[in-house]
């Protein structure tokens, strides 16, 4: 078994980011929303975080330098996509802030989640 040599910060960043403009982990913040919609547990739906907040607070809270490197790389690869991500988060949070109380609101939230999937994965 060969030992893997430690990665440089640039290698670590390249591996994490992959070929996509945004890392696929960015979807994780929406998984709970999506699940709670699916089982109609609307009261449990919590607001989403902006891209930078998610990277700093959830994904890399113990590695702030790497969080900042990911944010900078994402902005460099696709500033427009990060802006669309944050805009969609704001619209999601407006809807969640009012509370999801009807199928119509749940469907509107599902539409926004679909937009987010396209921002992250396409």
pLDDT in tens, 18-37: 888 888 889 988 999 999 99
Can you give the pLDDT at residue 1?
Answer: 58
Can you give the pLDDT at residue 81?
Answer: 92
Most confident region among 1-10, 22-31, 104-113 by mean pLDDT: 104-113
Rounded-to-integer distance, Cα 70 and Cα 13, Å: 7
Tokens representing 99 are 């509370």
Rounded-to-integer distance, Cα 46 and Cα 58, Å: 14
Could you tell me how far CA 1 lies from the centroid of its own chain?
36
Distances (CA, A) of 59 to 43, 46, 70, 99, 120: 25, 17, 10, 26, 16
pTM of the model: 0.87
């Amino acid at each position: 078994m060969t030992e893997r040599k430690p990665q440089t910060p640039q290698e670590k960043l390249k591996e994490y980011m992959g070929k996509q403009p945004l890392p696929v982990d960015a979807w994780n913040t929406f998984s709970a929303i999506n699940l709670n919609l699916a089982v109609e547990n609307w009261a449990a739906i919590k607001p989403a975080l902006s891209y930078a907040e998610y990277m700093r607070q959830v994904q890399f809270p113990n590695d702030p330098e790497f969080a900042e490197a990911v944010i900078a790389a994402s902005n460099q690869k696709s500033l427009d996509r990060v802006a669309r991500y944050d805009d969609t988060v704001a619209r999601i949070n407006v809807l969640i802030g009012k509370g999801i109380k009807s199928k119509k609101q749940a469907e509107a939230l599902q539409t926004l989640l679909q937009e987010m999937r396209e921002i992250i994965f396409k």
